[in-house]
Amino acid sequence: MVFRKLPGVSASGMGLRLSQKFVFLLFLSGLVTLCFGALFFLPDSVRLKRIFLSKTETQPVTVGSGSENDAREHLKRPKDPEHPRGMTPARGETSTRLKSLSRKPTVSREATEARLAGGKAQEDFTLPRSRTESASAKATSSDRDGHSDTFSYDKFKGCLLKPPLGRDNGRPTDPQTNERREKVKEMMKFSWDNYKRYAWGKNELRPLTRNGHIGNMFGGLRGASIIDSLDTLYIMGLMEEYNDAKEWVQTSLDLNSNGEASLFEVNIRYVGGLLAAYYLTGEEMYKTKVMELGEKLLPAFNTPTGIPRGVINLGSGTSWSWGWASAGSSILAEFGTLHLEFVHLTELSRNPIYTEKVMNIRKLLNKIEKPHGLYPNFLSPVSGNWVQHHVSIGGLGDSFYEYLIKSYLMSDKRDEDAKKMYYSALEAIEANLVQKSPGGLTYMAEWRGGILDHKMGHLACFSGGMIGIGADDGAPEKRQHFLDLAAEITHTCHESYTRSATKLGPEAFRFDGGGEATATRLSDRYYILRPEVIESYMYMWRLTHDPKYREWGWEAVEALEQHCRVESGFSGIRDVYTLTASHDNMQQSFFLSETLKYLYLLFSDDDLLPLEDWVLNTEAHPLPIIRKSCLQDEATQDKTVSE
């Protein structure tokens, strides 16, 4: 700017009157303020901020704008009904959507038009790069520069109490048990070989039509069966098959998708599968991939409360709630089943953002009132209030409780908040939901605003194992009580298998109308290769070594072989009460990740993936316990856990 000379005043500033000096300085300070204000507050100034800010200075990360964008709420939803956790239609491809919902809830056929309350302004979908740099970039930079805060795989291995694969790959000394284990291994190889032959690179195999299934559950990501199988192949010693899977991940796993994905499904299958593969093998490629994918999930948390929505576009970061969820709510089993994986994303990246996101969820849940101490299944990500008072330990609620006790165990029993939440929830569940049938069977009913629905889903059968692994850490005088409760629930779930013609359990079974542990409705009679009952067998075997659990597991193997094995893979069946098999033409990815892995562990020695070192996520992907003595920054970790 050019200043004119004033009459009778020298050009020198020394000749300016006092009032003129004041005006000049006032103008100059205003100009400086304007320039720096633009630098720090205009939306495109992030890169300039980094120039002026120290790299060690942590910048705040936006959790949410406090309101919603109507346009985002009306973006295109997936067109086809998808059945996460393998909820394929019980009546074939043209059937109506299943009414019961799993840990992996379904995608509606119709797009939701309901807006969340109070939504107008656009959300902040900025990735956490505004802190200093992205999680993956930070990890890579630290590796390159040799910073002391870099995750050390060698140090991690030194934290393990036992080798992950045991003394002899978990091979049992008993010949019959080993023969049964080898049979499970053959089932895995058969499933994998047919997937590779007919559906390679697709998400799942359709064994009857011998082709692949992609679906719209993973937002354009491919190879769900490959990612889900990595650790199963590895622990079974199927190394040729494992190396094929590894090569596909290295060369063909494309994370640059632009589709709508289930945050929950991508997290438990892809993030969990890649994390497990890295921890078991030390292959840096898995670490690089999982950090890139983890960063793509962060925008789902950009809500007024920090409670993530269930659906996210992995390319744009746009997120919304499931169309069928009440009033645009988020689902307890979905936003409550992120903790294990996100804590490990922080471990690998040394970026606290992932742990902060899941700890924020926990803080909100601790703050709001729980009816009768119970956690309803639907929560508004806008208001932070419960939307309905439907409580279930099966679909929509299940793995939330599982992740509370497993978060405590994975923290080397330092996460006291998770422990307190778990045992408080279990006390409320026992007081309100645990029932005893006239025939003496213990089961978990569902709660609908104070009214009990005497139904138990196959998905709820994981709870026998969950209560079992938590038995040692409650009040000492209740240890045997918890073990007894775990055994009773596992027995009830076994009864749901033995009371069917196929010796496989239905999707849901009831305890009213004179029947017990049987499906009284046609819509509940199907079995889609689910793992939950076998999961409880495996945990109860490890905890008690009662031989009945291995016998029950072998019954399941024989039933799978007789009724679900077809010429080109394994398929679910539509009615467990008839011996005339009607297959659903779907080999679920969780069959390879969970069902067969749990069976293999059941017939292996306990030193294969020992529970002293590992927790299994809800997709049965093993994640290591984080030991305080091995942490590189104990003060930081202690602060994170205490929060």
Name the token pair of 225.
Answer: 């069966």
Q: Are residues 97 and 81 in contact, defined by beta-carbon separation less than 8 angstroms? A: yes
Residue 569 in tokens: 């893979």
Describe the crossing of helices 339-349 and 353-367 by its angle, rounded to 10 degrees.
Answer: 150
Most distant pair of Cα atoms in the chain: their distance? 111
Distance of CA 345 to the CA centre of its chain: 12
**Unique residue bearing structure tokens 């840990």:** 103
Structure tokens at 568: 């080109």
**CA-to-CA distance for 266 and 278, rounded, in angstroms?**
17
Is 629:265 a contact under the CB 8 Å cutoff?
no
Which residue shows structure tokens 């359990």? Answer: 505
Residue 432, CA distances (Å) to 172, 372, 418, 605 in order: 41, 8, 21, 37
Q: Is the dihedral angle over the CA atoms 151, 155, 159, 161 positive or is it negative? A: positive
The DSSP bridge pattern shows strands 434-436 and 390-391 to be unpaired
Instruction: Specify whether the CB–CB gap between 563 and 573 falls below 8 A.
Output: yes
In whole angstroms, what is the distance from residue 526 CA to residue 461 CA?
16
CA dist 446 → 389, 430, 457, 525 (Å): 11, 12, 9, 19
Q: In what order do the strands lie in the sheet with 446-448?
A: 390-391, 446-448, 451-453
Rounded distance between C-alpha atoms, residue 342 and residue 436, angstroms: 38
- 179 as an active site residue: the answer is no
Q: What is the DSSP string of 492-525?
A: HHHHHHHTSSSS---SEEE--TT--SB--SGGG-
Count of residues making up the chain = 643
- The answer to whether 600 touches 181, Cβ cutoff 8 Å, is yes
Q: Helix, strand or coil for residue 273?
A: helix
Residues 55, 50: Cα–Cα separation, whole Å: 7
Q: Which of 68, 241, 507, 516 is catalytic?
A: 507
Q: What angle do CA 543, 544, 547 make, to 5 degrees?
A: 125
Q: Which of 386, 390, 540 is nearest to 457 (CA)?
A: 390
State how far the Cα of 467 lies from the Cα of 474, in Å rounded to an integer.
Answer: 10
Characterize 55-94 residue by residue with b for buried, 16 or more Cβ atoms within 10 angstroms of its Cβ, and e for exposed.
Answer: eeeeeebebbbebbbeebbeeebbeebbbbbbbbbbeeee
Please give the Cα distance from 227 to 230 (Å, whole number).
Answer: 6
Query: What is residue 355's three-state secondary structure?
Result: helix
CA-CA distance, 224 to 255, in Å (whole number)? 12
Residues 609 and 125: their CA atoms lie apart, in Å, by: 39
Q: Which region holds residue 374: left if phi is over 0, alpha if psi is between -120 and 50, else beta?
A: beta
CA–CA separation, 234 and 247 (whole Å): 14
Active site (catalytic) residues: 507
